Amino acid sequence: MAQPAGKRSTMSLYMRHDDPYSHRVRIVLAEKMISAEMFDVSTTEFPSNFLENNPYGSVPTIIDRELVLYETNIITEYLDERYPHPPLLPVYPIARARSRQMIYRIERNWYPLLQQIENTLKNDKVADLGKVKLAQETLENSLNSISPVFEGKEYFMSNEFTLVDCCLAPLLWRLRSLNSQKNKPSALERPIQLYEERVFTRPSFKATLSEVEFGVKT
C-alpha cells in the first residue's frame, strides 16, 4: 500500500489492513496528502503505553503529538478540520448534517451486515454459509433501495468527494470482493456500479488498498 505523501506530519496511525474503519482513515489521509507512520496491529503489538492512551485498545487510532483519537468519525472530522484542503464535508450546516446522518446510516445499517459476512467467512463454517447469503442479499437490497440517490451527482449526494464517500467506498469494495471470490456478478443496480467505478479509480482510493484488500479482489 502506498503511503500518503505531501504534508509533513508527526502523526501515527494504528490500524488493520483488513479493517474498513481503518481504510476510511487511510482514504482521508490520502485525499489530504497527509504523511503518517502506519502500524498494522494485526501483525505487530501495540506500544507499551497504548492502552493508557486508548482504554478500548481499538483501531483505528491516531496519535498526533500529544493528541490521541480512537473513534473513526472523530478521527476523520479532526483530519478534515486540521487540514482543510481539500474539504471533505460541505460548508453549509444543513448539507453537513445530512452528510453526518448518512454516515450514521451506513454505519448502523450496512457495516454490521458486512461485519457479519466477514466474521462468518473467517470462521469457515459451511453451516453458516446461508447466513452469509442472507446478509449479503439484505445488504445489496438495502443499497438498491436508494439507487436513485446515486444518480445526478458525481459522488454520493454531492459533486465533490466527501467523508460519506470515504465511509461508503470500503464497504462497496469488500462487497465487490465477495462477489469476485464467488465469480458472481454484482447484484447492485447500474447507478451504484457506475458510482463504484468513479470512486475505485480515484488515485487516493487506489493508493490506500493494502495487499490484503487488493489481493482479495483479484
pLDDT at 150 over 80: yes
Q: Label residue 188 left, alpha or beta by phi (over 0 means left) and psi (-120 to 50 means alpha).
A: beta
C-beta of residue 13 within 8 angstroms of C-beta of residue 36: yes
Residue 181 confidence class, pLDDT cut points 50, 70, 90: confident
Mean pLDDT across 10-22: 90
Distance, in Å, from the CA atom of 68 to the CA atom of 10, rounded to the nearest integer, reads 12
Distance, in Å, from the CA atom of 88 to the CA atom of 156, rounded to the nearest integer, reads 12
Comparison of pLDDT for 9 and 17, the residue scoring more: 17
Comparison of pLDDT for 48 and 85, the residue scoring more: 85
The residues that bridge with 37 in the sheet, in sequence order, are 12
> Whole-model pTM?
0.89
Question: Tens of pLDDT along 89-138?
Answer: 999 999 999 999 999 999 999 999 999 988 888 776 555 778 888 999 99
pLDDT at 166 over 90: yes
pLDDT at 217 over 70: no
Determine the pLDDT at residue 9: 61
Mean pLDDT across 50-65: 87
Determine the pLDDT at residue 218: 35
Cell representation of residue 139: 445488504
Residue 78 confidence class, pLDDT cut points 50, 70, 90: very high
Question: Tens of pLDDT along 22-34?
Answer: 999 999 999 999 9
Distance, in Å, from the CA atom of 65 to the CA atom of 36, rounded to the nearest integer, reads 12
Q: What percent of the chain has pLDDT over 70?
A: 88
Distance, in Å, from the CA atom of 34 to the CA atom of 53, rounded to the nearest integer, reads 22
C-beta of residue 166 within 8 angstroms of C-beta of residue 202: no
Residue 2 confidence class, pLDDT cut points 50, 70, 90: very low
Residue 34: which H helix or E strand, with range? Answer: strand 34-40
Distance, in Å, from the CA atom of 96 to the CA atom of 136, rounded to the nearest integer, reads 30
Distance, in Å, from the CA atom of 14 to the CA atom of 36, rounded to the nearest integer, reads 10
Q: Which residue has the cell 446515486?
A: 150
CATH number for domain 93-202, candidates 2.40.50.100, 1.10.1740.10, 3.40.190.10, 1.20.1050.10: 1.20.1050.10
Distance, in Å, from the CA atom of 107 to the CA atom of 164, rounded to the nearest integer, reads 11
Choose among 206, 178, 71: nearest CA to 114.
Answer: 178
Burial 177-189 (b: 16+ CB within 10 A, else e): bbbeeeeeeeebb
Cell representation of residue 144: 438498491
Mean pLDDT across 198-213: 88
